[in-house]
Structure 1
Amino acid sequence: MMERTVQILSYETVHKGFYPKSVLRLRHSLFRGGLSAEVSRDVLELGAASVVLPYDPRTDSILLVEQFRIAPYLMDEEPWLLEAIAGRAEDGEAADVAAAREAREEANIELTALARAGIGYPSPGGLKELTTIFVGCCNLAGVDGGVHGAADESEDIRVRVIAVDEALAMAASGTLRALSALVALYWLALHRADLRRRWA
Structure 2
Amino acid sequence: MNSREYYRPISKEVLSDDWGLLTKHEFELLRRNGEWQRQTRETYDRGNGATCLLHNPQTDHVLLTRQFRLPVFLNGGLHSMIETPAGLLDGARADERMRKELIEETGFEVDTLTHLFDVYMSPGSVTEYLAFFKGTYSASDQTGDGGGTFEEGEDIEVMQVALTEAMRMIENGAICDGKTIILLQHLFINTLLKRA
- Residues 193, 137 of structure 1: alpha-carbon distance in 2 compared, 3 angstrom cutoff: farther
Superposition TM-score, scaled by structure 1 size: 0.87
1:118 aligns to 2:94 (yes or no): no
Unaligned runs of 5+ in 1: none
For residues 153-178 of structure 1, give each alpha carbon's deviation from its aligned partner in whole angstroms, at most 9, with x where no partner exists: 11110101100010011112222101
For residues 28-54 of structure 1, give each alpha carbon's deviation from its aligned partner in whole angstroms, at most 9, with x where no partner exists: 1101112112x1111110221101111
How far has the Cα of 1:100 moved from its partner? 0.8
Q: Which moved more, 1:2-11 or 1:177-186?
A: 2-11
How far has the Cα of 1:78 moved from its partner? 1.9
2:10 corresponds in structure 1 to 9
| Partners of 2:114 and 2:135 within 8 A in 1 | yes
Cα distance in 2 between the residues matched to 1:159 and 1:140: 13
Cα distance in 1 between the residues matched to 2:70 and 2:42: 20
2:127 corresponds in structure 1 to 128
Alignment-mate amino acid for residue 119 of structure 1: D
- Residues 113, 147 of structure 1: alpha-carbon distance in 2 compared, 3 angstrom cutoff: closer
Alignment-mate amino acid for residue 87 of structure 2: G
Alignment-mate amino acid for residue 29 of structure 1: L
Identity of aligned residues (%): 24
Q: Pairwise mapping of residues 73-152 of structure 1 onto structure 2 (< 5 A)?
A: 73-91=73-91, 93-140=92-139, 146=145, 148-152=147-151
Runs of 4+, deviation exceeding 6 Å: 193-196
1:26 aligns to 2:27 (yes or no): yes
Cα distance in 1 between the residues matched to 2:192 and 2:114: 14
CA-atom RMSD, angstroms? 2.3
For residues 56-92 of structure 1, give each alpha carbon's deviation from its aligned partner in whole angstroms, at most 9, with x where no partner exists: 111111011100011221122323110000111011x
Superposition TM-score, scaled by structure 2 size: 0.89
| Partners of 2:51 and 2:130 within 8 A in 1 | yes
Cα distance in 2 between the residues matched to 1:13 and 1:32: 32
Cα distance in 2 between the residues matched to 1:128 and 1:136: 26
- Residues 117, 142 of structure 1: alpha-carbon distance in 2 compared, 3 angstrom cutoff: closer
| Partners of 1:106 and 1:157 within 8 A in 2 | yes
For this pair of structures, how many residues does the alignment match? 192
Alignment-mate amino acid for residue 20 of structure 2: Y
How far has the Cα of 1:123 moved from its partner? 0.3
| Partners of 1:2 and 1:31 within 8 A in 2 | no
| Partners of 2:108 and 2:146 within 8 A in 1 | no
| Partners of 2:8 and 2:27 within 8 A in 1 | yes
DSSP 3-state at the match of 1:184: helix
Alignment-mate amino acid for residue 106 of structure 2: A
